[in-house]
Structure 1
Amino acid sequence: MIINHNMNAMNAHRQLGVGTTKSGKSMEKLSSGLRINRAGDDAAGLAISEKMRGQIRGLDQASRNAQDGISLIQTGEGALTESHSILQRMRELSVQSSNDTNVDVDRSEIQKEVDQLSQELTRIADTTEFNTQNLLGGDFKAKFHIGANQGQDITLEINAMDAKSLNVAGVIGEKAEVKGVTGVSVKNLTENEITIKYETLKGTKAEAVEKTTAKLSDDGQTITVTLAQAAGDDTNAGKITASKADIVKALKSTGAVRVEVEKGTDLAADLDATGAVPADTAVAKGEISKEVGINVSSQEKASKAITTINNAIQTVSAERSKLGSYQNRLEHTINNLNTSSENLQASESRVRDVDMAKEMMEFSKNNILQQAAQAMLAQANQAPQGVLQLLR
């Protein structure tokens, strides 16, 4: 019998430590609900779980992105709903003006309402925004990121829906015509630009010219188109400059430079050119084409306006249909993203979450072993006292 090394007590103490450690881990898992609380619990399982968590959060955010996209589409489509109503009213007025029971005074009043409706179409297009982004001005192009990974997006473009783009801009004033436009040959000029001007227009007030086209030769230089001041109180001057790259592209594709003029503006027109250009560069004979909007001042014009407005209605309908199809697509996308996220969360749960029933069973076992080890340690500590009986 020895007293320096109580092997029974040491063994009981070791078993008590093991039981205490296991009980502590079981308590940690039961209190957190997770099987993996640190990398040491399951290194590979932790890595898999974290990748799944990243994918899950990405899918959830993609779903929110798609919902934001639907909100944007609904904003634009709601504005187009009112544009449709305006066009229907304009068509109704055109049909009314097509009836010769109306006299010029009646048609003049109808034209006033048509002009106001046209302006409202443009106002709606200019002011319809989502998060400060204009939707109906013709410049909107956006990508909706609808996936958890790179490159998983769709692109939406919304065409211009203002009165000018729909060819239903209002018309004010009388017809005017261009005269005195001639061809000019340019040789070795000194300034790095070409300027085109137009001579006087006939008529007291010019027609509501929305787009003026000057046809030019391709000289590769920067071109400036200037609308100069003409005689009369109602004439305004304007100027537009196109860069070299833009003008060369325009000339090669359409042979035209476009100038926009506010309606009701009188124009002065003549043709000349200045600028540092290659020898024998020619400016072709000038042509001005005028595109006007809805005019219901006569039976014939009102009848034509019906067709123009029909085309505008079809254009808006096509745009609304496109937006509706994108919205339906995004709704299905959201359903798919939510389903994918749910399935991935189930997979991640199987990797990381603890089986509470099984872990409780382990905890009970370890707790009993811990208590037994404590009792045996107490008994082992009493064993060396038997040596005292030998010493009496």
Structure 2
Amino acid sequence: MRINTNVGALTASRNIFVNQMATEGSMRKLSSGLRISRAADDAAGMSIANKLRTQSRSLNQAAANAEQGNAMLQIAEGAAQTIQRILERQKELVTQKLNGTSSSTTTDTVESEIGKLSAEVERIINITTFQGSSVFGSLAFQVAEQDSDGTVTIDAGLAVADVSLADSASLQDVDDAMDAINETLANIGAGQNVLDYVTQNLKSTVVNLRAAESTIRDVDMAEEMATFTKNNILQQAAQAMLSQANQGAQGVLSLLR
């Protein structure tokens, strides 16, 4: 019998330390809900999870860009529809002016209104902006995390000269202006559809990326709870065995009596 080196007690003490570390690790995971709460838990897994989280955040912003682009196009559509209604009124006035029963006074009044309406069309085009940028032009929206193939470009161009009529405008002039505004409205509508689909796809991708990150970073609570219970029991058992190992050395005293 040896008393200077109690191998059983040392072994039990080492097991207590190992089980205590495992129990504390389980408590950290259970309290945080994370399987990887520090790099030591899974260095490779943390690297992958961080990349997935970064990608999902970037795509979230891309989706926000697309939604803001759609808001910009809605403003452009509202302004374009107002211009369209003005052109409809101007065509009505031109038709009235061309009537053989119109007097010179009537003609002057009609042309005056046509001119004022054209000035309003020009004003609408010049002042309709979104965050300081004109809504009528070639609009580009960043809707991906890559620089290449990550931009959606929409032609919402509308020149004042295309829709602003002279006082003496003819019916053909009005029809040409109507064609221009209708083309702009068609481009805006197509752009809105594109951005709607882009937003849907981005949000779906973000959900899938977060699900993939979750499988790596998040803890399975049921499984970890079972592990915690096991380690906790082993720690208590090791403490009991340490007590038994220390008591075993007391047998030496019986030889001294």
Q: TM-score range by the shorter chain?
A: over 0.9
**Is the counterpart of residue 146 in structure 1 residue 133 in structure 2?**
no
Q: Tell me if the contact between 1:58 and 1:149 (Cα under 8 Å) persists in the aligned partners.
A: no
Shift in Å at residue 338 of structure 1? 0.7
Secondary structure of 1:83's match?
helix
CA distance in 2 between partners of 1:134 and 1:334 (Å): 23
Question: Residue in 1 aligned with 2:180?
Answer: 315
Q: Tell me if the contact between 2:158 and 2:180 (Cα under 8 Å) persists in the aligned partners.
A: no
**Is the counterpart of residue 353 in structure 1 residue 218 in structure 2?**
yes
Shift in Å at residue 160 of structure 1? 2.9
Q: 1:295 aligns with which of 160, 165, 168?
A: 168
Identity of aligned residues (%): 40
How many aligned positions are there?
A: 256
CA distance in 2 between partners of 1:143 and 1:97 (Å): 43
Q: Tell me if the contact between 2:33 and 2:221 (Cα under 8 Å) persists in the aligned partners.
A: yes
CA offsets 1:61-88 (integer angstroms, 9 cap, x no match): 1100000100111111111110011000
Q: 2:209 aligns with which of 344, 348, 351?
A: 344
Question: Residue in 2 aligned with 1:289?
Answer: none
Q: Tell me if the contact between 1:9 and 1:377 (Cα under 8 Å) persists in the aligned partners.
A: yes
Structure 1 residues 38-117: aligned runs within 5 Å: 38-117=38-117
Question: Residue in 2 aligned with 1:127?
Answer: 127
CA distance in 1 between partners of 2:15 and 2:164 (Å): 91
Question: Residue in 1 aligned with 2:194?
Answer: 329
**Is the counterpart of residue 37 in structure 1 residue 34 in structure 2?**
no
Shift in Å at residue 19 of structure 1? 0.5
CA distance in 2 between partners of 1:12 and 1:43 (Å): 30
Shift in Å at residue 156 of structure 1? 2.6
Q: Which amino acid aligns with 1:165?
A: D
Q: Tell me if the contact between 1:161 and 1:316 (Cα under 8 Å) persists in the aligned partners.
A: no
Q: Tell me if the contact between 2:3 and 2:249 (Cα under 8 Å) persists in the aligned partners.
A: yes
Shift in Å at residue 294 of structure 1? 3.8
Larger radius of gyration: 1
Q: Which amino acid aligns with 1:34?
A: L
CA distance in 2 between partners of 1:149 and 1:337 (Å): 13
Q: Which amino acid aligns with 1:295?
A: S
Structure 1 residues 1-392: aligned runs within 5 Å: 1-136=1-136, 140-151=137-148, 152-162=150-160, 164-166=161-163, 168=165, 293-295=166-168, 305-392=170-257
Secondary structure of 1:156's match?
strand
Shift in Å at residue 323 of structure 1? 0.6
Q: Tell me if the contact between 2:138 and 2:157 (Cα under 8 Å) persists in the aligned partners.
A: no
Shift in Å at residue 165 of structure 1? 2.9
CA distance in 2 between partners of 1:149 and 1:353 (Å): 28
Q: Which amino acid aligns with 1:40?
A: A
Q: Which amino acid aligns with 1:144?
A: F
Secondary structure of 2:155's match?
strand
CA distance in 1 between partners of 2:164 and 2:24 (Å): 78
CA distance in 1 between partners of 2:41 and 2:86 (Å): 68
Q: Tell me if the contact between 1:86 and 1:121 (Cα under 8 Å) persists in the aligned partners.
A: yes
Secondary structure of 2:219's match?
coil
Q: Tell me if the contact between 2:118 and 2:164 (Cα under 8 Å) persists in the aligned partners.
A: no
Q: Tell me if the contact between 1:167 and 1:294 (Cα under 8 Å) persists in the aligned partners.
A: no
Shift in Å at residue 101 of structure 1? 1.4
Secondary structure of 2:147's match?
coil
Q: Tell me if the contact between 1:167 and 1:308 (Cα under 8 Å) persists in the aligned partners.
A: no
Higher strand share: 1
Higher helix share: 2
CA distance in 2 between partners of 1:294 and 1:307 (Å): 14
CA offsets 1:231-270 (integer angstroms, 9 cap, x no match): xxxxxxxxxxxxxxxxxxxxxxxxxxxxxxxxxxxxxxxx
Q: Which amino acid aligns with 1:352?
A: R
CA distance in 2 between partners of 1:143 and 1:89 (Å): 33
Q: Tell me if the contact between 2:121 and 2:163 (Cα under 8 Å) persists in the aligned partners.
A: no
Shift in Å at residue 319 of structure 1? 0.3
Q: Which amino acid aligns with 2:153?
A: T
Q: Tell me if the contact between 2:141 and 2:151 (Cα under 8 Å) persists in the aligned partners.
A: yes
**TM-score of the pair, normalised by structure 1:** 0.63
Secondary structure of 2:138's match?
strand
CA offsets 1:188-233 (integer angstroms, 9 cap, x no match): xxxxxxxxxxxxxxxxxxxxxxxxxxxxxxxxxxxxxxxxxxxxxx
Shift in Å at residue 38 of structure 1? 2.0
Q: Which amino acid aligns with 2:192?
A: Q
CA distance in 2 between partners of 1:313 and 1:111 (Å): 18
